[in-house]
Amino acid sequence: MASMGLNLDEQKAVERFQKAVVAPSRDKLVILDFWAEWCGPCKALAPLLEKVAAEYADKGVLLAKLNVDEEKFIAAQFQVRSIPTVYAIFQGQPIADLTSARSESQLKQALDQLLAQLPVTGGASAEPQADIAQLAAMGEQVLAEGDGERAAGIFAQIAEMAPDDPAVQSGLVRALLAAGRKDEARAAFDALGDEMKKDPAVAQAGAALELAGGDIDEGELQALRAAAAERPDDRQAQFDFAQAAFAAGQRDEAADTLLKLIEAEPEWQDGAARAKLLQIFEAVGLGDPWVSAQRRRLSLLLFG
């Protein structure tokens, strides 16, 4: 797809496609998945593609996902009329339609046939770290979308390939937490060496694990929520509910409650509410957009 005759948005779309698909496909086999948020079959197929791509990463296979609503121009170039549509891309060209491969055995059989015919460079001999980083980014994207179970599956497979990668281990712990598998998250974190735990990414996962605390069932959370609502001037009730809310995955409620507590009495318990909020920021990740928004709210309270 040349840029001649294209408008600015189309040129940018081509550039993104070149970077995400064409460049890696020069010596890798790229599974290109056309999908959309509203497509149920796409979401059903995604875990299969992610699992097989992770298992075949050392053979030179990568997964690229293209949202047809966001990349309409590229989808049109491929004449995508229904989704999910899945192509195998090599050296910038579609070489096989994998859409009909809806089971793990079918997809692996199709990939094995292609790999036997193509000069694909395996992950072990060409930029393996780049492959790991791409797979980890995929796991982080799935985690950000709120699917902790899928993200945990992705990170578990990557962890077998890169056991010494702090970003991968951090992702695994956080994904297990998001999936509600706190005991497994604790076991995964405890199994890491002391030096690994000092890494900022792993420390972030450790902070998230500490904040998760014990299991919070819906009944307990509702009771704490009711107590906080009935006793708005009871600082401890507000604080206890905020902790439980975050442990239960209700981070918006947790932040709102702590910010109100800070506004009402910033020095309560030597600034415990502010310290807890900063701990939450560390656990979620200082680069996360949600954290950035909450930090602005905190700054307005403290300095506005």
Q: Active site residue: 32, 39, 54, 178, which one?
A: 39
CA within 13 Å, CB half, 195: 2
- Cβ atoms of residues 51 and 157 within 8 Å: yes
- Reading the block at residue 156, the tokens are 């578990």
Determine the Cα–Cα distance for residues 148 and 180; give it in Å rounded to an integer: 8
Strand partners, 93: 90
Task: Confirm whether 9 is a catalytic residue.
Answer: no
Q: Is residue 104 annotated as a catalytic residue, yes or no?
A: no
123 Cβ neighbours under 8 A, 6+ residues apart: 57, 58, 59, 60, 131
Cα–Cα distance between 83 and 170 in angstroms, integer? 33
Q: Which of 21, 31, 32, 42 is catalytic?
A: 42
Place of tokens 């790229």: 30
Distance (Å, whole) CA 56 – CA 121: 12
Q: Which residues are catalytic?
A: 39, 42
